[in-house]
Structure 1
Amino acid sequence: MEGHNISSEGFILVGFSDRPRLELVLFVVVLTFYLLTLLGNIAIIALSALDPRLHTPMYFFLANLSFLDMCFTTGSIPQMLYNLSGPDKTISYLGCAIQLYFVLALGGVECVLLAVMAYDRYAAVCKPLHYTVIMHPRLCGRLASAAWLSGFGNSLIMAPQTLMLPRCGHRRVDHFLCEMPALIGMACVDTVPLEALAFALAIFIILAPLILILISYGHIARAVFRIKSAAGRKKAFNTCSSHLTVVSLFYGTIIYMYLQPANTYSQDQGKFLTLFYTIVTPSVNPLIYTLRNRDVKEALKKALGKADAGAS
């Protein structure tokens, strides 16, 4: 009966409803960042497809990351904007299930994809003479596919387990989206077995990619220090600095959110951290890569120059 009621009535996303003035500010901030995310990531995808200089493994993976960020934000922000815009905070059971599945899946994809991008940078810096042979198009396609499949496979396990937890009629989710820690916190049964499963999967989907990233950058750092010219070291550093910045922003919040027990989970901290990796990180990723990457800046100037010429 309880499952039937929740399925028919859905959930209430409490969010920041106890602070209505903050909701108005957040609506403007979230909408602004969402539009910036769409604009920036569409630009990266378009440039990667249209400019021949960007037809390289690095920009293939960057286009994947941009598409991923667009999907990630679109899966959560429209519902968030709706709930922030008025008194109605409800979300259907199906809507909550879809949102949970895609938030988990796309977060997992990004973890693995960032590790793949670190391997690409390792090959570029440490094996420059063999780079095109190592990172051939077939391998790039397989690595990208592995990232997407692993993220969606992880979510296929965790999302149903989380949704099937008994909640004893509780419908109020102390969050602004259907996220796993908040839904587990609503359960009226012992959640230790599910948390243990989540932690075990997180080792493979979060920690293992992070370890691979650290190993890759350990080799990169050693190779950079061996470069005798300052210009060569600067060039090698510039090819990796953007990716390192994105990794730091993403993993800093994800590790806090998903690698701690639910009973130590602070809802207010969790909400603001979720806001950060849901709206801030996807919007600044294109900016980080554009500002720090000469090829992207030149491709953007070329595209804007053609647009100006066409307009005149």
Structure 2
Amino acid sequence: MAEANFSIIVEFTLLGFSDLPNLQGFLFGLFLIIYTGILLGNGLIIVITKTEPTLQTPMYFFLRNFSFLEICYTSVILPRILVNLWTQKRTISFLGCAIQLFFILILGVTECFLLSVMAYDRYVAICKPLYYTLIMNRKMCVWLVIGSWILGIPILIGLTYQIFSLSFCSSNKLEHIFCDIPPLLKLACGDISLEVYSIYVDAGIFGMFPFFFIFGSYVKIIATILKLPSAKGRSKAFLTCSSHLIVVTLYFVSAFVSYLMPKSSHSSATEIVFSLFYTILTPMFNPLIYSLRNKDFILAMRKLLPKCIGLVST
């Protein structure tokens, strides 16, 4: 079956947005603006948190890595969407689809772990402030980031190979805008219960475990904040955590709906909408959420922007 699959399917056709022929130009312009905004916004976070001395803390170190991850995440998806909309050629090779899915899975898992690391950083800062510099030292921060990037690679290589070893019944039309697990499984024929079981196991390990870790961290964080005697201190602590909580909610809710909800309960259009949330809209909102709700970042941006404008003018 696997050999027949490789000999028959040489490319896939991405049907997402193909039923909107009159909106192709508008969608191209919209996604181009979104992609440019993601690159500029997250790039600005990277530059400011790297160059501003007052932002050389673990929280901004993790934020810088998170912004870099968001750029990588969208760069795996959006350029292909833009090319498809511009050329009206919606095909992607079998190997190209496998590579795209692999990087989407790796970057998605890395995002889950990085969000967990950022929650742990806030937990230590608020619940164990006296030990913060001891626990969250430079070496620990670097290893937490490295672990977030590489931890899921071996298992996700196996999962990607497992999915693309299926027989797709000679159909190559994916009702989606990029190569993702749910639309690929819709094309598969025969018994795919093992693959579905593997997906749920991996989702539990790489999705639910980080989610419950974040949830447990914030239960302890909120309990500690409520014990603070100063109203101003409680407000500052809540404000520090609120940005991260907004990003966590946007990402995990949309990802869980896309991967774990029964497929009979929503259409292909609904799948596309929710996949846009966790792959594109979250990276787009990330700079706004973190910058507009962070006074230190706003002050650093006000200091840096005049310097940049001066360099451009000279």
Instruction: Report the TM range for the smaller structure's normalisation.
Output: over 0.9
Instruction: Please tell me whether the aligned partners of residues 106 and 151 of structure 1 are also in contact (alpha carbons under 8 angstroms).
Output: no
**Aligned-partner Cα distance in 1 for 2:88–2:27:** 15
Instruction: Please tell me whether the aligned partners of residues 6 and 169 of structure 1 are also in contact (alpha carbons under 8 angstroms).
Output: yes
Aligned to 2:39: 38
Aligned to 1:220: 221
Alpha-carbon shift at residue 265 of structure 1 (Å):
5.2
Alpha-carbon shift at residue 279 of structure 1 (Å):
1.9
Alpha-carbon shift at residue 264 of structure 1 (Å):
4.6
**Aligned-partner Cα distance in 2 for 1:76–1:190:** 29
Instruction: Please tell me whether the aligned partners of residues 100 and 179 of structure 1 are also in contact (alpha carbons under 8 angstroms).
Output: yes
Aligned to 2:292: 291
Residue 170 (structure 1) aligned with residue 205 (structure 2)? no
Aligned to 2:195: 194
SS in 2 for 1:12: strand
> CA-to-partner distance for each residue in 1:227-270, whole Å, 9 max, x for gaps?
11111011111110110010011011011111234455521100
Deviates more, 1:87-96 or 1:117-126: 87-96
Instruction: Please tell me whether the aligned partners of residues 109 and 152 of structure 1 are also in contact (alpha carbons under 8 angstroms).
Output: no
Amino acid at match of 2:133: T
Instruction: Please tell me whether the aligned partners of residues 250 and 277 of structure 2 are also in contact (alpha carbons under 8 angstroms).
Output: no
Alpha-carbon shift at residue 152 of structure 1 (Å):
2.7
Amino acid at match of 2:59: M
Amino acid at match of 1:79: R
Aligned to 2:116: 115
Question: What aligned pairs does 1:4-153 form with structure 2 within 5 A after superposition?
Answer: 4-7=7-10, 10-153=11-154
Deviates more, 1:155-164 or 1:112-121: 155-164
Question: What aligned pairs does 1:192-271 form with structure 2 within 5 A after superposition?
Answer: 192-264=193-265, 266-271=267-272
Q: Percent identity?
A: 43
SS in 2 for 1:157: helix
**Aligned-partner Cα distance in 2 for 1:16–1:135:** 46
Alpha-carbon shift at residue 24 of structure 1 (Å):
2.9
RMSD: 1.5
SS in 2 for 1:11: strand
Instruction: Please tell me whether the aligned partners of residues 108 and 154 of structure 1 are also in contact (alpha carbons under 8 angstroms).
Output: no
**Aligned-partner Cα distance in 1 for 2:263–2:159:** 15
Alpha-carbon shift at residue 109 of structure 1 (Å):
0.6
Alpha-carbon shift at residue 50 of structure 1 (Å):
0.7
**Aligned-partner Cα distance in 2 for 1:309–1:197:** 55
Amino acid at match of 1:256: V
Residue 3 (structure 1) aligned with residue 9 (structure 2)? no
SS in 1 for 2:13: strand
Deviates more, 1:241-250 or 1:266-275: 266-275
**Aligned-partner Cα distance in 2 for 1:54–1:172:** 48
Amino acid at match of 1:29: L
Deviates more, 1:20-29 or 1:205-214: 20-29
**Aligned-partner Cα distance in 2 for 1:181–1:22:** 25
In the superposition, the TM-score normalised over structure 2's length comes to 0.95
**Aligned-partner Cα distance in 1 for 2:96–2:215:** 37
Q: Closer, same or farther in 2 for the Cα pair 1:158/1:193, shift >3 Å?
A: same
Q: Closer, same or farther in 2 for the Cα pair 1:192/1:265, shift >3 Å?
A: farther
Instruction: Please tell me whether the aligned partners of residues 5 and 165 of structure 2 are also in contact (alpha carbons under 8 angstroms).
Output: no
Amino acid at match of 1:179: D
Q: Closer, same or farther in 2 for the Cα pair 1:16/1:291, shift >3 Å?
A: same
> CA-to-partner distance for each residue in 1:149-188, whole Å, 9 max, x for gaps?
1243342122111111101211111111001111111101
Instruction: Please tell me whether the aligned partners of residues 96 and 178 of structure 1 are also in contact (alpha carbons under 8 angstroms).
Output: yes
Aligned to 1:277: 278
> CA-to-partner distance for each residue in 1:11-31, whole Å, 9 max, x for gaps?
111111122123333222211
> CA-to-partner distance for each residue in 1:196-251, whole Å, 9 max, x for gaps?
11101111100000011011100110111011111101111111011001001101
Instruction: Please tell me whether the aligned partners of residues 84 and 90 of structure 2 are also in contact (alpha carbons under 8 angstroms).
Output: yes
**Aligned-partner Cα distance in 2 for 1:265–1:138:** 45
**Aligned residues between the structures:** 310
**Aligned-partner Cα distance in 1 for 2:173–2:307:** 52
